[in-house]
Chain A
């Protein structure tokens, strides 16, 4: 407790506050631009921190990290363009809300959920990090395979009207995911001799194309018909009663997010989809999901942002980076002479607790900037389509290019955009494709790695408790919608 107070004092110094604020704002901007991911933002700012003191330097990076996870949902909600993979799930209900003219409300929910989710995860980090860390270590290949399979089973709940179409889209994602070097054998698959294809088709260009570019194509259809503003912005604010109804969803999603963040190899994108699925599972009235349900925004947002605190748990307590962003942070900590691991808390207690307070503050800053900014963010919708559409297309191209600085990604993005346009015409949902792309490689490599480890013995999948639990949930999730439909028909 004394350490926390000390941390509080250390954080409230103008230099620290300045860099944290700067980092958070920069993060929000980076996150909202498609193609610029959290990892890239943090990595780009990294050299800047070399010459800084440990606390402001690390908090600058943490600000960028937290801010970018939040920033991605702004564009997801307003213009159907997920800025980062973490907000791919937010699109499903966020954009429909905007189309209904409730952008203001959707952004408020997103900001509140993000901040609350983030704060909860940091509190978990402060209070029970060491106890949870050992649990994270129990995750190995069979557990990760089971988690990926569970994630994929969500297809049945995000499929929308037609489960068959959803499964088709999910399968397409899985098929695209097979392109590239075989994760275990290292043999090139479906690469047609092109070196760009050996690492596989990235899901970010596809995500930008499927969601953003296809939406831009669609709005071109009526660009000359409808000269005026595309949607009316109703000044509907979020009511207290409505928020109260969301608290359960937010808390549950924050738990899911923190837990997912802890697991090596699983990040905000997976957490958001899982939380969305659970929100739907627990909802009494499921009809509004996919058409603009507030819970459909709160769940992925709270989960996505609470991954941040969760991911810090194995990083700080064990020195294990769970994903790419925390790997960069690991480097940043080491440059500052802070060696993450069990000894960190003892040798550098004051600094660690200062970082904790800084993380809490970063989430408060998100809340403040988010709520203050909503009025300005929604102005995007006032831009006439004749200007907004070309702007979005430009953003798509720049975003896809900046990802790896090559045109191949731009071509992939355009193809995905055209495919996405026809998806819209034939009412095929796009989210399952992304889900398949994210989880396909994780599932394949872990399934095969598990079998390599067990030397081909299948018992590895039913003798490990976590694996069994996750696999059972996956089966239940996959078949629930089928049964509920049947039961409803019968009754």
Chain B
């Protein structure tokens, strides 16, 4: 017993010495200039619960960005309020670059939904990482094979087509409403708790179509139970390159998409933002992360801090109009 205690005492002293030595190294290395950021571990807030696509992407990205920052990056889940809980905390964090947030498309929608007063102006954009457009998907045995066919059927049967979405006011609901508006058709919108249950209902034949991302229906497209008619974006999706965009299929449409990116509190110094932007964009371009995203069917779309800022502003203004028009506004 005594022997073990001696050993463990040794071990503890050794670990402590190592730790002290480690600290010393850090200090001497980062003695001068702005290069010293980051000096300690960085926290990346994921505004969704563990297990979802946002969380998985955040964790994969965090693991890859560590190399470029030279410091560990820990993911913390702060779910709730359509992402408003975690993103608000990220916006109110110390503006020192040590707390970053994986923001989601809802950042530009929450204010219009009346859920929270949070918007993109309270954050500083670092980089956009991912974008997945909405796509119109129907059962494989549906009587139409094109967007035109779908629209013609809907015109002949007004209000009869049940279109599943991921919840009232969710991005996929906006997508279906926008389709109805642009095509001048009447659809019956059925909200589900997230995209997965909506897709399940479509596979089971309980709804007639869904407007979710290609990634979320990929399994069933491969299995041949569902077919995607068109993608709501200005360019085709990498996952289903054979499927036309809405414009190609003959219906003018805005890009409606879910996206994810990295932000920091708005008072964070620009030098620090630049370091983070560089590191995150580098990590996102690496094979490791690319492989993770493609195997999960998630589209990669990189935008610099500047591009991401104007992208979010455009989104914000578009949804403001859209929500008011659809009467979804919570205010």
Report yes or no: A140 in contact with B206, Cβ–Cβ below 8 A: yes
Report yes or no: B51 in contact with A320, Cβ–Cβ below 8 A: no
Chain B contact surface mostly: mixed
**Interface code A170-204, partner B: CB below 8 Å = 1, 0 otherwise?**
00000000000111111110000001111100000
Report yes or no: B51 in contact with A195, Cβ–Cβ below 8 A: no
Kindly list chain B residues whose C-beta atoms are within 8 Å of the C-beta of A47.
59-60, 63
In the complex, A138 has a CB within 8 A of chain B:
yes
- A190 CB, min distance to chain B CBs, angstroms: 14
Stretch at the interface among A117-125, A271-279, A337-345, A413-421: A337-345
**Interface code A32-60, partner B: CB below 8 Å = 1, 0 otherwise?**
00000001101110110010000000000
Near A by CB (< 8 A), chain B positions 155-212 give: 159, 162, 167-170, 188-193, 196-197, 199-201, 203-207
A136 to B80, CA, bound (A): 29
Report yes or no: B219 in contact with A319, Cβ–Cβ below 8 A: yes
Cβ-neighbour of A321 out of B56, B196, B205 (below 8 A):
B196
Chain A interface size range: 35 or more
Kindly list chain B residues whose C-beta atoms are within 8 Å of the C-beta of A327.
51-52, 196
Report yes or no: A184 in contact with B191, Cβ–Cβ below 8 A: yes
In the complex, B114 has a CB within 8 A of chain A:
yes
- B230 CB, min distance to chain A CBs, angstroms: 22
A232 to B85, CA, bound (A): 46
In the complex, B251 has a CB within 8 A of chain A:
no
In the complex, B95 has a CB within 8 A of chain A:
no
Near A by CB (< 8 A), chain B positions 90-118 give: 113-116
Report yes or no: B188 in contact with A452, Cβ–Cβ below 8 A: yes
Cβ-neighbour of B81 out of A42, A195, A320, A331 (below 8 A):
A195
A46 to B292, CA, bound (A): 12
Report yes or no: B191 in contact with A319, Cβ–Cβ below 8 A: no
Stretch at the interface among B71-79, B127-135, B272-280: B71-79
Report yes or no: B191 in contact with A405, Cβ–Cβ below 8 A: no
Kindly list chain B residues whose C-beta atoms are within 8 Å of the C-beta of A334.
295-297
In the complex, A445 has a CB within 8 A of chain B:
yes
A35 to B250, CA, bound (A): 51
In the complex, B320 has a CB within 8 A of chain A:
no
Report yes or no: A141 in contact with B77, Cβ–Cβ below 8 A: no
Report yes or no: B191 in contact with A449, Cβ–Cβ below 8 A: yes
**Interface code A324-340, partner B: CB below 8 Å = 1, 0 otherwise?**
11011001001111011
Closest B residue by C-beta to A442: B193
Report yes or no: B191 in contact with A404, Cβ–Cβ below 8 A: no
Report yes or no: B49 in contact with A404, Cβ–Cβ below 8 A: yes
Kindly list chain A residues whose C-beta atoms are within 8 Å of the C-beta of B302.
none
Kindly list chain B residues whose C-beta atoms are within 8 Å of the C-beta of A445.
193
Kindly list chain B residues whose C-beta atoms are within 8 Å of the C-beta of A319.
219-220, 223
Report yes or no: A264 in contact with B197, Cβ–Cβ below 8 A: yes
Report yes or no: A186 in contact with B167, Cβ–Cβ below 8 A: yes
In the complex, B84 has a CB within 8 A of chain A:
yes
In the complex, A348 has a CB within 8 A of chain B:
no
- A462 CB, min distance to chain B CBs, angstroms: 17
A452 to B204, CA, bound (A): 17
Total residues of chain B contacting the partner, CB 8 A: 57
Near B by CB (< 8 A), chain A positions 57-98 give: none
Report yes or no: A341 in contact with B222, Cβ–Cβ below 8 A: yes
- B140 CB, min distance to chain A CBs, angstroms: 12
Cβ-neighbour of B188 out of A318, A342, A405, A455 (below 8 A):
A455
Report yes or no: B206 in contact with A184, Cβ–Cβ below 8 A: no
Report yes or no: B78 in contact with A405, Cβ–Cβ below 8 A: yes
Kindly list chain B residues whose C-beta atoms are within 8 Å of the C-beta of A43.
50-51, 55-56
Near B by CB (< 8 A), chain A positions 408-461 give: 445, 449, 452-453, 455
Report yes or no: A188 in contact with B114, Cβ–Cβ below 8 A: yes
In the complex, B88 has a CB within 8 A of chain A:
yes
Kindly list chain A residues whose C-beta atoms are within 8 Å of the C-beta of B51.
39-40, 42-43, 324-325, 327-328, 331
In the complex, B328 has a CB within 8 A of chain A:
yes
Kindly list chain A residues whose C-beta atoms are within 8 Å of the C-beta of B206.
140-141, 453
Cβ-neighbour of B159 out of A141, A406, A455 (below 8 A):
A455
A341 to B295, CA, bound (A): 15
Cβ-neighbour of B192 out of A42, A50, A331, A449 (below 8 A):
A449
In the complex, A139 has a CB within 8 A of chain B:
yes
Kindly list chain B residues whose C-beta atoms are within 8 Å of the C-beta of A405.
76-78
A47 to B78, CA, bound (A): 19
A341 to B222, CA, bound (A): 8
In the complex, A137 has a CB within 8 A of chain B:
yes
Report yes or no: B82 in contact with A181, Cβ–Cβ below 8 A: yes
- Known: A43-B50, A50-B292. Is A404-B79 also a contact (CB below 8 A)? yes
Kindly list chain B residues whose C-beta atoms are within 8 Å of the C-beta of A248.
none
Report yes or no: B80 in contact with A196, Cβ–Cβ below 8 A: yes
Kindly list chain B residues whose C-beta atoms are within 8 Å of the C-beta of A343.
222-223
Kindly list chain B residues whose C-beta atoms are within 8 Å of the C-beta of A320.
196, 199-200, 203
Report yes or no: A40 in contact with B328, Cβ–Cβ below 8 A: no
Given A183-B191, A195-B115, A334-B296, 18 new contacts (CB under 8 A):
A43-B51, A50-B292, A137-B204, A140-B206, A181-B82, A186-B167, A186-B169, A188-B115, A188-B330, A265-B197, A319-B220, A339-B222, A404-B77, A404-B78, A406-B80, A406-B89, A452-B162, A455-B159
CB<8 Å pairs between A and B, sample of 23: A43-B55, A46-B56, A47-B59, A137-B205, A181-B115, A183-B167, A185-B168, A195-B88, A198-B80, A198-B115, A198-B116, A320-B196, A321-B196, A327-B51, A331-B51, A331-B56, A335-B296, A336-B295, A340-B219, A341-B220, A405-B76, A453-B188, A453-B207
What 3 pairs between A and B have smallest CB-CB spacing?
A186-B168, A43-B50, A319-B219
